[in-house]
Structure 1
Amino acid sequence: MNTFNIVFSVIVLAGLAYVSSVIVKKLGSLRDPLQVWEALNNVGLLPIRMRAWIFSTVVGFANPYSRSINFRITELRKGKACGVMKESKKISNPFRCVHAAALITFGETVGGLAVFTLLGKKDRAILTNINAEYIKVSRGLLTASSIIQPIKDREITELVNEVLIKNAAFETVAKLTLTWKVDIKDK
């Protein structure tokens, strides 16, 4: 092994150790996913694709069931979340398209992140209802997006958001309506 490879390996390991320490510190604050997302985006040496993979892995630790699908969160802002999921044999049904349960898990994860970006550290939200409308057979690369308006009424107890899942041709393949019971404590 030449000197360059050794130095490169040490630099990569040091970078991963730094990123891991940032993530471990932020894991406790995943109640604010935007804070974790922004912390990862502030690590300049990390490629964008690696940031999305790390963040999606962190989400998987917070919500273990979401690890059953292979997804990446691609955008996260106040009230907005977007992600991608590629069709694979692991999430396919016998008809060679994405299984309905995988679509719901994907949509719930993206929609939940959009909701949690609007909540304070002491606020809580729990999913109470999912309504899924399957519009078209889902194959290939899928994109989910959810946009929710900022919470103006701090007395609300229920929040509803919509998640659209589209295929590579930008055709809507599924539409989910998520109903959340919210407890707003930060007033």
Structure 2
Amino acid sequence: MNNFYFALLSTLFAVVVVAASVIAKKLGSLRDPLQIWDGLNNIGLLPIRMRAWIFTTVVGFANPYSKSINYRITELRKGKACGVMRETKKISNPFRCVHAGALVTFGETVGGLAVFTLLGKKDRAILTNINAEYIKVSRGLLTASSVLQPLKDREINELVSEVLIKNAAFETVAKLTLTWRVDLKDK
């Protein structure tokens, strides 16, 4: 009987992975991450953790480098993105803390999603500068958040966002300042 349940769970898992891959390929890129996020949240039968995993998998297909770290997006709203990342051996440095590169990848992914929620379908944004300030040794469960105000001036060429990464004790371990070149075409 245990083999039956294992086979059933394995099949279900495979179906979910294939579905996430199909969704990502149909979208091509993450032009409207809120549409995907809201669509997943409207599926009532999926557990919340499964929705976050599917969304993060879709983000990984659109941005393959982000798959190099193990993170989950936990909240996405207009101008706001939050995510969590647990320290693992894969992303640790020789000093038994999270590697600076993993922190930057995590922060850039969360900050990018916050920026993309503010853009229209024809708008473009490209990261031109990252400034990372490492404040404290990062260990354990980390939370990243980025909050931006809605774009009121459609004539801007540059957008600066900030990402705070905190540990389980709510101490800031890193602060990233991301500078984006934006091309706003949607009016």
* TM superposition score normalised by structure 2: 0.90
Residues 1:155 and 1:48: Cα distance change in structure 2 (over 3 Å): same
SS at the partner of 2:121?
coil
SS at the partner of 1:93?
coil
List runs of 5+ in structure 1 lacking aligned partners.
none
CA deviation map 1:116-172 (0-9, x unaligned): 000000000000000000000000000000000000000000000000000000000
Q: Distance in 2 between matches of 1:49 and 1:171?
A: 25
Letter of the 2:67 partner, please give it.
Answer: R
Letter of the 1:81 partner, please give it.
Answer: A
For 1:37-76, list aligned pairs within 5 A.
Answer: 37-76=37-76
Q: Number of matched residues?
A: 185
Residues 1:119 and 1:56: Cα distance change in structure 2 (over 3 Å): same
Residues 1:63 and 1:22: Cα distance change in structure 2 (over 3 Å): closer
Cα drift, residue 27 of structure 1: 2.5
Say if 2:133 is the partner of 1:136: no
Give the conservation status (yes or no) of the 8 Å contact 1:86–1:142. yes
SS at the partner of 1:170?
coil
Give the conservation status (yes or no) of the 8 Å contact 2:52–2:72. yes
Name 1:34's counterpart in structure 2. Answer: 34
Give the conservation status (yes or no) of the 8 Å contact 1:78–1:118. yes
Q: Distance in 1 between matches of 2:164 and 2:184?
A: 26
Give the conservation status (yes or no) of the 8 Å contact 1:81–1:146. yes
Percent sequence identity is: 83
For 1:23-172, list aligned pairs within 5 A.
Answer: 23-24=23-24, 27-28=27-28, 30-172=30-172
Q: Distance in 2 between matches of 1:119 and 1:186?
A: 8
Cα drift, residue 20 of structure 1: 4.6
SS at the partner of 1:105?
helix
Residues 1:18 and 1:66: Cα distance change in structure 2 (over 3 Å): closer
RMSD of aligned C-alpha atoms?
A: 2.5
List runs of 5+ in structure 2 lacking aligned partners.
none
* TM superposition score normalised by structure 1: 0.90
Give the conservation status (yes or no) of the 8 Å contact 1:27–1:58. no
Letter of the 1:126 partner, please give it.
Answer: I
Give the conservation status (yes or no) of the 8 Å contact 2:20–2:58. no
Q: Distance in 1 between matches of 2:145 and 2:131?
A: 16
Q: Distance in 1 between matches of 2:75 and 2:39?
A: 14
Letter of the 1:168 partner, please give it.
Answer: A
Q: Distance in 2 between matches of 1:142 and 1:182?
A: 29
Give the conservation status (yes or no) of the 8 Å contact 2:146–2:164. yes
SS at the partner of 2:122?
coil
Give the conservation status (yes or no) of the 8 Å contact 1:143–1:166. yes
Name 1:173's counterpart in structure 2. Answer: 173
